[in-house]
Chains A and B, each alone.
Chain A
Amino acid sequence: MIAAHLPALQIVLPLAAAPLCLLLRRGTLAWALALAASWAALVCAALLLRQVLISGPISYELGSWAAPWGIEYRVDAVNGFVLLIVAAVGAVILPYARTSVAHELPEEQHATFYTAFLLCLTGLLGVTITGDAFNLFVFLEISSLSSYVLIALGRDRRALTAAFQYLVMGTIGATFIVIGVGLLYMATGTLNMMDLAERLPPLAGNRTVLVAFAFLTVGTGLKLALFPLHFWLPNAYAYAPSVVTGFLAATATKVSVYVLLRFFFTVFGVGYSFEVLSVGKLLIPLAAIAILVCSTVAIFQNDVKRMLAYSSIAQIGYMIMGIGFATTTGLTAGILHLFNHAMMKGGLFLALGCVFLRVGSVRLEALHGLGKRMPLTMFSFVLGGLSLVGVPLTVGFISKWYLVQAALERDDWILAVVVLVGSLLALVYVWRVVEAAYFKPAPEGAAKVEEAPLSMLIPTWVLIGASIYFGIDTSLTVGVARQAAAQLIGGAS
C-alpha cells in the first residue's frame, strides 16, 4: 500500500514535519524530527527512482481527481533523478546542520530554522515531482519564500539586504513564470503538463504561446541565475548561514534548471523550442559568456564563499550549454552536471562551513596556514576544487568530457575551447585557496585552531567522497542521465 503512495509521501512527509518543528520549539527536538523527515524523503526518492527505472513513469492522482482536471504527480527518469539529488543533499546536510546552526544562529531561532528548512525542501521536491504547471508555481513559491527567510538568518547584517535583493529578483522571476503559465492556460485551457504537451503543437503559430514561452524562459532564467540575470546570487550565497549556502547551492538552482528542461522539452517540445524558436542560439552564447566571465570574476574574489558563488554561475553555464545543444549527448552532459555539481559544490560549501566554525571567517587571509591546522577540512576542499577544475577521476571531469564530446559532435571547436578555458580559470581560483591554505604561514600569534567536529566532517566528506566515487564508477549517474536525456529528446514521456 505504501509503495503506491510514495509520490505523495515524498512531499507530505517533510511538509508535515515542518509545522511540528514549529510546535516543538526546542532546537534539538526540531533537529531530530527534521533529520528523520529528510531521511524518509531520501528513502522515498530512492524507491521512486528504482521503480521508474524498472517499470517506467509513475503517475499519482492527488485527491483521486483524474488528470488533467486534478493535480497529477508524475515521476519519470528526469525528475526521479532530480528528486534523488535534492533529497540526498537534504539528508546529508541535516546531520551537519546541528553543530553549524548552533554556532551561527541564536538559540530561539533554531526551531524556526528547521521549519523553514523543511518547507524549502518540500518546495524543491514539489517543484520537481509535480506534473501540473500551476502546482509547480505554488511549490516554487514555497521553496523561494522559505529560502528568503533562510538567507536572511545569516549573522552578517548584509544578509538582510542580500535576502531582500533575492526576494525582489525571485519574485519577479516567479511572477514571470505564473504569467507564462497563465498565458498557456489561456491558449489551451489546461494546466496539466502532459495535456499541455498534446495541445500545444497545433498552436505553434499562436502569439499567446510565443509570449508564454518568453515569460517562462526569462522567469526560470532568473530563478536559475542564467548569466545576465544572476546578480542576486553572489550576495545571497555569501551572507547566508553556511548550511543554507550549501543546501541552496546544491539544490535550488538545479531544480530551476530542471524546470527549464521540463518546459522546453516536455511541455513545448524539442521541435518548437529548438527548431521553430531556436532558443539554443540564445542559450549557448549566454552559457559561454557565463563560463568565461564569471570564472574570471571568481578569480578576483577575496571572500571564498563569494568566489564559489561566482563559480556556481559559471557551472550553471555548463549545464545550460549542454541543454542548449538539444542533442542526446548534450542533454546527458547537462543532466549529469546537475548531479555532479550538486555533490562537489555542496561539499565545498560544507568545507567552508567547517572553516567558518573554527576560524570565524572565510576570507582568503583567514585561511593562511589552515592546511596544517585543519588538514581534513582543507583536503576535502582541495578534492572538491579539483573536481571543479575537472581533473580525471572526479565528477567534474565526467561532465566536461560529455560536454566537450557534445560540442565536437556539432563540430563546434570554439565551444569545446570555452569549456577547457573555463577549467583553466577554475584552476586559477582554486589555486588561490590552496596557496593560502598550504603555502602561506599562519599569522603570528594566531589563535589555536582545532579540526572541525566529526558531525560536520562526515557530511562534508560524504559529498566530496561522492564527487570522487561517481567520477570513477559512472554507471549509475551516466546511465540515468542518458535515459533521462533520451526521454526528453523523444518528446513527451
Chain B
Amino acid sequence: MHRHSVLRVTTKLLMPFILLFALYVQFHGDFGPGGGFQAGVIFGAGFILYTLIYGVENARRVAPEPVVRVLIAFGLLLYIGVGYAGLLLGGNFLDYFVLAQEPEKGQHLGIFLIELGVGTTVAATMVTVFFTFAGRGRP
C-alpha cells in the first residue's frame, strides 16, 4: 500500500472523525439512535480500515494483542459489575433504580455504563477477529 498516497492520506484524515463519530454514537445513544453495539462496530471498523491501509504490524502497535484481550473481558465485566452493583445496593440484578439517589439518575448511570461495556467488548472483539484472520501465516 506504500504507493497509494491518496488512500493513505485520506485514511489518516478520516481516522479521527470515524473514531469521534463512534464516541458520539456511543454517548449520545441515551438520547438518540445509537448505543454500545453500533458504536463498537464503528470504532472497530475504524481500526480495520487503518489495518487495511497501514498493515497489521502498525495496527498492532496501536492495539497490542494482550491489551485488546483485556478489553474484551473488561467490557463484559463492566456490564456484569453494574448488575452486581444493583444486587449489592439492595435491588435485583441489573437494577439501575438503586444506583443513584434519584431513580432517573440511576437509570441514566446504569444504561450509560452498560452501553460502555457493550461498546468496549464489541470493538475489541471486532479488532481481534480481524487481526486473527489478517495475521494468518505470519509469525
Residues in chain A within 8 A of chain B (CB atoms): 5, 8-9, 12, 15-16, 18-20, 22-23, 60-64
Query: B86 at the A/B interface (Cβ < 8 Å)?
Result: yes
Instruction: Answer whether A12 and B93 are a contact pair too, CB < 8 Å, given A5-B87, A63-B86.
Output: yes
Q: Is the CB–CB distance between A62 and B92 below 8 Å? A: yes
Q: Is the CB–CB distance between A20 and B73 below 8 Å? A: yes
The 3 closest A-B pairs by CB, nearest first: A8-B93, A19-B73, A63-B94
How far apart sit A23 and B78, CA to CA, in the bound complex (Å)?
14
Residues of A with C-beta under 8 A to B76 = 18-19
Interface string of B78-106 (1 = CB under 8 A from A): 00100110110001111111000000000
How far apart sit A410 and B118, CA to CA, in the bound complex (Å)?
53
Residues of B with C-beta under 8 A to A8 = 83, 87, 92-93
Query: B8 at the A/B interface (Cβ < 8 Å)?
Result: no
Q: Is the CB–CB distance between B84 and A60 below 8 Å? A: no
Instruction: Answer whether A64 and B91 are a contact pair too, CB < 8 Å, given A22-B69, A22-B72, A22-B73.
Output: yes
Q: Is the CB–CB distance between B93 and A23 below 8 Å? A: no
Instruction: Answer whether A5 and B77 are a contact pair too, CB < 8 Å, given A16-B84, A22-B69.
Output: no
Q: Which residue of B lies closest to A60 (CB)?
A: B92
With A19-B76, A22-B72 already in contact, 10 other A-B pairs whose C-beta atoms are closer than 8 Å: A5-B92, A12-B80, A18-B76, A19-B73, A23-B73, A62-B92, A63-B86, A64-B91, A64-B92, A64-B95
Q: Is the CB–CB distance between A5 and B93 below 8 Å? A: yes
How far apart sit A349 and B108, CA to CA, in the bound complex (Å)?
49
Residues in chain B within 8 A of chain A (CB atoms): 69-70, 72-74, 76-77, 80, 83-84, 86-87, 91-97
Residues of A with C-beta under 8 A to B84 = 12, 16
How far apart sit A252 and B83, CA to CA, in the bound complex (Å)?
27
User: Nearest chain A CB to B86's CB is how many angstroms away?
Assistant: 7
Q: Which residue of A lies closest to B77 (CB)?
A: A19
Residues of A with C-beta under 8 A to B80 = 12, 15-16, 19
29 residue pairs A–B, Cβ–Cβ below 8 Å? A5-B87, A5-B92, A5-B93, A8-B83, A8-B87, A8-B92, A8-B93, A9-B93, A12-B83, A12-B93, A16-B84, A19-B77, A19-B80, A22-B69, A22-B72, A22-B73, A23-B70, A61-B92, A62-B92, A62-B94, A63-B86, A63-B92, A63-B93, A63-B94, A63-B95, A63-B96, A64-B91, A64-B92, A64-B97
Q: Which residue of A lies closest to B97 (CB)?
A: A64
Q: Is the CB–CB distance between A20 and B92 below 8 Å? A: no
Q: Which residue of B lies closest to A71 (CB)?
A: B94
User: Nearest chain B CB to A257's CB is how many angstroms away?
Assistant: 28
Residues of B with C-beta under 8 A to A12 = 80, 83-84, 93
How far apart sit A370 and B92, CA to CA, in the bound complex (Å)?
54
How far apart sit A476 and B97, CA to CA, in the bound complex (Å)?
41
Instruction: Answer whether A20 and B77 are a contact pair too, CB < 8 Å, given A5-B87, A8-B87.
Output: yes
Q: Which residue of A lies closest to B73 (CB)?
A: A19
Residues of B with C-beta under 8 A to A60 = 92
How far apart sit A16 and B73, CA to CA, in the bound complex (Å)?
10
Q: Which residue of A lies closest to B80 (CB)?
A: A16
User: Nearest chain A CB to B114's CB is how many angstroms away?
Assistant: 10
How far apart sit A63 and B86, CA to CA, in the bound complex (Å)?
8
Q: Which residue of A lies closest to B87 (CB)?
A: A5
Residues of B with C-beta under 8 A to A64 = 91-92, 95, 97
Residues of B with C-beta under 8 A to A23 = 70, 73
How far apart sit A22 and B128, CA to CA, in the bound complex (Å)?
14
Residues of B with C-beta under 8 A to A19 = 72-74, 76-77, 80
How far apart sit A60 and B94, CA to CA, in the bound complex (Å)?
12
Residues of A with C-beta under 8 A to B91 = 64
Residues of B with C-beta under 8 A to A20 = 73, 77
Residues of A with C-beta under 8 A to B73 = 19-20, 22-23
Q: Which residue of B lies closest to A8 (CB)?
A: B93
User: Nearest chain B CB to A317's CB is how many angstroms away?
Assistant: 38
User: Nearest chain A CB to B77's CB is how many angstroms away?
Assistant: 5
How far apart sit A19 and B74, CA to CA, in the bound complex (Å)?
8
Q: Which residue of B lies closest to A73 (CB)?
A: B93
How far apart sit A426 and B77, CA to CA, in the bound complex (Å)?
47
How far apart sit A217 and B40, CA to CA, in the bound complex (Å)?
35
Residues of A with C-beta under 8 A to B87 = 5, 8
How far apart sit A389 and B97, CA to CA, in the bound complex (Å)?
55
Residues of A with C-beta under 8 A to B94 = 62-63
How far apart sit A62 and B84, CA to CA, in the bound complex (Å)?
12
Residues of B with C-beta under 8 A to A15 = 80
How far apart sit A60 and B83, CA to CA, in the bound complex (Å)?
14
Q: Which residue of A lies closest to B103 (CB)?
A: A64
Residues of B with C-beta under 8 A to A5 = 87, 92-93
How far apart sit A61 and B94, CA to CA, in the bound complex (Å)?
10
How far apart sit A18 and B95, CA to CA, in the bound complex (Å)?
22
User: Nearest chain B CB to A309's CB is how many angstroms away?
Assistant: 30
User: Nearest chain B CB to A61's CB is how many angstroms away?
Assistant: 6
> Per a CB cutoff under 8 Å, which of A9, A16, A62 touches B77?
A16
Point out which of B70, B83, B97 has the most chain A C-beta atoms below 10 A from its C-beta.
B83
How far apart sit A415 and B77, CA to CA, in the bound complex (Å)?
51
How far apart sit A18 and B77, CA to CA, in the bound complex (Å)?
9
User: Nearest chain B CB to A277's CB is how many angstroms away?
Assistant: 37
Residues of B with C-beta under 8 A to A63 = 86, 92-96
How far apart sit A107 and B127, CA to CA, in the bound complex (Å)?
24
User: Nearest chain A CB to B99's CB is how many angstroms away?
Assistant: 11
Q: Which residue of A lies closest to B66 (CB)?
A: A25
How far apart sit A223 and B23, CA to CA, in the bound complex (Å)?
39
Residues of A with C-beta under 8 A to B93 = 5, 8-9, 12, 62-63
Residues of A with C-beta under 8 A to B77 = 16, 19-20
How far apart sit A19 and B125, CA to CA, in the bound complex (Å)?
13
